[in-house]
């Protein structure tokens, strides 16, 4: 049977496709835009010089020695990326039960902070506060038996934050999920005259399967004793995310973060509606790997999937996103 032009009277003249007919009309009514200024670029640093070590589980991501991290920072700023997040791959012999290397003023993180600050002062620098890159057991805090100690860990984290700020860190990002750490870090920074250091709190950080490739990247994979479910959030909960965020704001967080990203866009939306606080999400290593591997398998186009996923964060209510695609996306968006 031949299709005939139907009587579309029920539409009363409304045709939502009308605005989708041309590039210009789609552009005219587009509700969200993605720009390089929305992107926070996580970089893995490692010892040595002129080292660019591929990370097997994250195609296109490398562990960089400090000299190359400086170049990467320069390239990122040239594309309009405002903030870098630095993650150290700490050598085994520098890891310990109590993560003391976190307090060493010459640790890898501090050397990278100083080197980038010296050469590319116009880019913002962010570092995690959590002990996992420095502990032999891979946990974010210190342990007694199988227990992750809260208050003892918080005390160390305050000193870790101070150590990083003294080396040039602009944005402290507590990713450990200990109770009370935001307030303790705020007070600790203020007491030493760092009242302008920004705190970006990993507020709703879930115990997630999607961190797998990251733990490989920082050398924690295979090392982790047990799991992180006694401090990171249960993936079934959202009301709890609102409580975590409210508490972090109360304690002095300047920016909130949801992590992981794509499986938690409802949490992003809820936080953006509940609080008038800058909000970020972390498109984590497993999300990045999924998009890359799907593209490599010919299931979708890499750039299209990258832009669609990042725009989704903006639509959900994010002001900015941490993503391993940051430099690639910025280059594409600036073209």
Q: Which residues bind ligand PBG (CB under 6 A)?
A: 128, 130, 132, 140, 175, 211, 214-215, 228, 284-285
Smallest distance, ligand PBG to C-beta of residue 318, A: 16
* Least distance (Å) between residue 132 CB and ligand PBG: 5
CB of 214 to ligand PBG, least distance (A): 3
Sequence-distant (≥ 6) Cβ neighbours of residue 163 within 8 angstroms: 102, 103, 104, 105, 107, 110
Nearer to ligand PBG, 34 or 178 (CB): 178
The residue (of 62 and 211) whose beta carbon lies closer to ligand PBG is 211
Give the angle subtended at the CA of 209 by the CAs of 206 and 214, to the nearest 5°.
Answer: 90
Angle at 225 between CA 223 and CA 230, to 5 degrees: 135
Run of H or E residues at 283: strand 279-283
Residue with smaller CB distance to ligand PBG, 130 or 172: 130
Residues 6+ apart with CB under 8 A from 74: 119, 120
Could you say which of 5, 117, 228, 259 is catalytic?
Answer: 259
Ramachandran region of residue 50, left (φ > 0), alpha (ψ -120 to 50) or beta?
left
Q: How far is the CB of 231 from ligand PBG (least distance, A)?
A: 9
Active site residue 259: yes
Per-residue DSSP letters for 298-318?
Answer: TSS-HHHHHHHHHHHHHHHT-
> Are 281 and 259 contacting, i.e. CB atoms less than 8 angstroms apart?
yes
| Shortest separation between residue 15's beta carbon and ligand PBG, angstroms | 43
- Dmax (CA) for the chain in angstroms is 80
Residue 235 to residue 255: CA distance in whole angstroms = 21
SS3 state at 233: strand
Q: Compare residues 128 and 248 and give the one whose CB is closer to ligand PBG.
A: 128
Shortest distance in whole angstroms from residue 325 CB to ligand PBG: 12
Identified catalytic residue from 74, 205, 228, 314: 205
Q: Which is nearer to ligand PBG, 115 or 130 (CB)?
A: 130
Active-site residue flag, 228: no
Kindly tell me which of 5 and 184 has the beta carbon lying closer to ligand PBG.
184
The beta strands (E) that lie in 12-142 are given as: 39-46, 52-54, 62-65, 83-88, 124-129
How far apart are the C-alpha atoms of 258 and 159, rounded to whole Å? 24
Residue nearest to ligand PBG (CB): 214
| Residue numbers annotated as active site | 205, 259
């Amino acid at each position: 049977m031949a299709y005939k032009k139907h009587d579309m009277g029920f539409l009363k003249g409304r045709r939502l496709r009308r605005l989708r007919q041309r590039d210009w009309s789609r552009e005219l009514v587009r509700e969200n835009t993605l720009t390089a200024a929305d992107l926070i670029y996580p970089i893995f640093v490692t010892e040595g010089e002129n080292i660019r070590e591929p990370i097997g589980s994250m195609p296109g991501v490398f562990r960089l020695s400090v000299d190359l991290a400086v170049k990467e920072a320069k390239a990122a700023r040239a594309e309009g990326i405002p903030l870098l997040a630095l993650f150290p791959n700490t050598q085994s012999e520098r890891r310990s039960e109590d993560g003391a290397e976190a307090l060493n003023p010459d640790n890898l993180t501090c050397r990278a902070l100083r080197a980038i600050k010296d050469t590319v002062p116009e880019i913002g620098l962010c570092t995690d506060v959590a002990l996992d890159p420095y502990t032999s057991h891979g946990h974010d805090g210190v342990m007694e038996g199988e227990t992750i100690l809260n208050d003892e860990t918080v005390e160390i984290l305050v000193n870790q934050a101070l150590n990083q700020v003294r080396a040039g860190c602009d944005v402290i990002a507590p990713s450990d999920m200990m109770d009370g750490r935001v307030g303790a870090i705020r007070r600790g920074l203020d007491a030493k005259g760092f009242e302008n250091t920004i705190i970006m709190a990993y507020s709703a950080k879930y115990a997630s399967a999607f961190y797998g490739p990251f733990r490989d990247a920082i050398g924690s994979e295979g090392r982790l004793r047990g799991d992180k479910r006694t401090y990171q959030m249960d993936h079934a909960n959202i009301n709890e995310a609102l409580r975590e965020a409210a508490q972090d704001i109360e304690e002095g967080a300047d920016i909130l973060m949801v992590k992981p990203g794509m499986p938690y866009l409802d949490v992003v939306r809820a936080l953006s509606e509940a609080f008038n606080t800058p909000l970020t999400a972390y498109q984590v290593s497993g999300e990045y790997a999924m998009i890359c591997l799907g593209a490599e398998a010919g299931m979708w186009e890499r750039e299209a999937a990258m832009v669609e996923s990042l725009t989704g964060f903006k639509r959900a209510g994010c002001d900015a996103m941490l993503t391993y695609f940051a430099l690639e996306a910025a280059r594409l968006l600036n073209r």
